[in-house]
Structure 1
Amino acid sequence: MDNWNDLRVVLAIARARGLAGAALGLGIDHSTVFRRLNALEERLGVRLFERLAGGCYEPTPAGALMVTTAERMEDEALALDRAITGRDHRLTGRLRVTSSETLAYRTLTRHLAEFRGEHPGITVELVIENRILSLSRREADIALRPIRPRESDLWGRKLSDVAWTLYGSPTYLASRGGPLSGPAELARHSVIGWEETARGILAADWIGETAPEAAVVFRTNSLISQLVATRAGIGLALLPCYLGDGDPELVRALETPLAEMSGELWIVTHEDLKGTARVRAFFDLVGSGLAAERGRFEGQGGAG
């Protein structure tokens, strides 16, 4: 084995469990991945993957050994990249930030505009992603996360607690007897919920446990789509207060935020990158700007 690109192909296939996903991750076409894998197996004289039903690729013992080696090499390469980047004292270059769609829609972009004004040499790439991206693998340089990070190699700080409650349009609530006195009253309302495949999302689980199945009349995996549906009067939605309170077309259907739905907002980076000038500048300006809006995140401003 004298070609790192061969190992990258094997690693990509193992992670994606197929050729199509590997091609997407590597930025090459499906046929190229197929040819490179076949050529590698022929050169080594060993099969690296079992081709299973449905196009799934499962590593053989030889393939698993190669995957383990590739992961070690990738870790070393990423560590070197982070170490070099961590010594970068220039306020220029690319800064890749990941955030949820709701934070970007309602609050974050204003602070990014201010950041760009202060640091025009830094190009911000904002990745709207509700899943947790890997900072160790440089999928992002900075993450704004709704949960406390568990990885030991991350560094950051909590910016605020995040309150949630139920919202509706004034017209809808007027037609259905006004605000709720408690979550149990969802049974007499139309409810906007999540797709049935959404599991492990706190808001989706709460709706699933609290609202009767028959009450859920509209489902979407996007909180912004839930917001728009609530504006249209389709029903009530469970939204973070910084999203719902800031919308003039919505009011709180339940005045008090739900204690069991209380979340957090964190800003984090990899510990190797905390000394990078671009990262420090983002923490100082955007992180501090978001922290200054703690009252909005914690639902202290009331309904809009």
Structure 2
Amino acid sequence: MDLSSEMGGIAILAAIARLGSISAAAKAAGLSVSTAARRLDGLEARLHLRLVDRRTNGARLTQDGQRLAALALPLADQLAEIARAADVLRHGTGPTLVRVSGTETIIADILAPALPRLWATAPDVTVQLQSQNSIVSLAGRDAELAVRMVRPRGDSLLIRQLPPQPIGLYASPAWLAGRDPAAIDLKAAPILAYDDSFGPLPELAWLDALGLTQAIALRTGSTRALVTATRAGAGVGIVPLRFAAGLVAIPMPQPPPLRIPWLTVHRDLRRLPQVAAVHRWIIAAFEAGASQAAASD
């Protein structure tokens, strides 16, 4: 078998193993879905193996696909390292554009307001702030840096814990209508919560441990949707403390877990000047936010 002719299909197989669907694999590779599917079909035809079960809700690797993907993932990472090294050789100091992936709230409410601080110390850095809930692949070059609410995994990654983000259950005064917040029966109240698009968030496990999962009436990946719905009187919402002004805290027998952001960068990129500058800036932005929150308590 000519291995060079199989590389496209192998890369798609590795991306499906990471991301769970052909469409996500195609997006990560910068391809159309039809092109990614053709490369995968070609690989299956040449190997005479069925590697992926196509489903309406994604793609699932067959047993043969899982075995080959385990071999393909390290190879895909090595190819990505070659591409990163080529970037350094072309540009001298690394990528001219530093992409930062984070959730809507991280991008819009923590990093965007802190941009003057970045350019005061690193005026030549160009950043792209990517608001997305999906977990990007740094090894696959989807971004240079990522901030996530669930701890990433990977031996090739440098991971740093950022200051925790307090959360709680809150309701609007209009929804309470004069009722004692401590007397609310939460099992009968509409609860507004995050969905699982961020990954297995600890607050979802906390709600489940309290027997409140069945009371969840809204699930969303948008913090702004949770805050807006709570302010509108739709129910009791899981809201970050930084957005709780004007809302009433609902006392709980067990406090909710802190939301812990994790800053992640690939080891190969951390030493590059532009990436290092953005890495320091993200840490400073979160630390400044934590200091402001502490001062307002």
Structure 1 length normalisation: TM-score?
0.74
Higher Cα Rg, which structure: 1
> Is the contact made by 1:154 and 1:269 (CA closer than 8 Å) also made in structure 2?
yes
Q: Is the 8 A contact 2:51 2:61 kept in 1?
A: yes
Secondary structure of 1:264 counterpart: coil
Alignment-derived partner of residue 125 in structure 1: 128
Q: Which moved more, 1:191-200 or 1:277-286?
A: 191-200
Structure 1 distance, partners of 2:114, 2:201, is 27
| Aligned counterparts of 1:165 and 1:94: Cα–Cα separation in 2 | 37
Aligned to 2:257: 261
Residues 265, 3 of structure 1: CA spacing in aligned structure 2 closer, same or farther, 3 A cutoff? same
Q: Report how many aligned residue pairs link the two structures.
A: 291
Q: Deviations over 1:73-112 (max 9, x none)?
A: 3222222344565787648711111112222232221113
Among the aligned pairs, what percent are the same residue?
24
Mean alpha-carbon deviation: is it higher for 119-128 or for 157-166? 119-128
User: Counterpart of 2:149 in structure 1: which amino acid?
Assistant: P
What runs of 5+ residues in structure 1 fail to find an aligned partner? Answer: none
CA distance in 2, matches of 1:214, 1:73: 44
Q: Paired residue for 2:281?
A: 285
Alignment-derived partner of residue 48 in structure 1? 49
SS at match of 1:273: helix
Write the distance in 2 (CA, Å) between the matches of 1:260 and 1:92: 40
| Residue matched to 1:191 | 191
Structure 2 CA distance, aligned partners of 1:36 and 1:207?
43
* Equivalence for 1:78: 80
Residue 60 of structure 1 and its aligned partner are, at CA, apart by: 8.0
Match of 1:135 among 133, 138, 154: 138
1: CA distance between counterparts of 2:237 and 2:178?
15
Match of 2:114 among 82, 101, 111: 111
Distance 2:270 2:194 in 1: 36
Is the contact made by 1:202 and 1:261 (CA closer than 8 Å) also made in structure 2? Answer: yes
Deviations 1:165-211 (A, max 9, x none): 122223223x0414337xx7424644223459998322233334436
> Quick check: 2:171–2:233 contact (8 Å CA) kept in 1?
yes
Deviation at 1:133, TM superposition (A): 2.8
Q: Which moved more, 1:130-139 or 1:10-19?
A: 10-19
* Aligned residue type for 1:229: A
Q: Which residue of 2 aligns with 1:177?
A: 179
Mapped to 1, the partners of 2:73 and 2:5 lie a distance apart of 13
CA distance in 1, matches of 2:52, 2:265: 38
Residues 268-292 of structure 1, C-alpha deviation per residue, up to 9 Å, x if partnerless? 3122222111122113333213212
2:263 alignment partner, SS class: strand
**CA gap 1:64/1:296 in 2 versus in 1, 3 angstroms:** same
Give SS of 1:144's match: strand
Maintained 8 Å contact 1:192/1:217? yes
Q: Secondary structure at the match of 1:115?
A: helix
Which residue of the partner structure matches residue 170 of structure 2?
A: 167
Provide the secondary structure at the position in 2 that maps to 1:292: helix
Which residue in 2 is equivalent to 1:234? 234
| Counterpart Cα distance in 2 of 1:210 and 1:300 | 31
Aligned-partner Cα distance in 2 for 1:66–1:188: 49
Using the size of structure 2 for normalisation, the TM-score is 0.75
Q: For 2:149 and 2:5, locate their aligned partners in 1 and report how far apart those are by CA, in whole Å.
A: 36
Letter in 2 for 1:290: F
Deviates more, 1:84-93 or 1:219-228: 84-93
Which moved further from structure 2: 221-230 or 150-159? Answer: 150-159
Q: Name the structure 1 match of 2:296.
A: 301
Amino acid at match of 1:241: L
Matched, 1:222 2:254: no
How far the C-alpha of 1:52 sits from its partner, in A, is: 5.3
Deviation at 1:224, TM superposition (A): 1.9
Shift of 1:36: 4.8
> Residue 135 of structure 1 contacts residue 269 of structure 1 at CA under 8 Å; is this kept in 2?
yes
Distance 1:57 1:186 in 2: 38
* Shift of residue 264, structure 1, vs aligned partner: 2.2
Higher alpha-carbon deviation: 47-56 or 4-13: 47-56
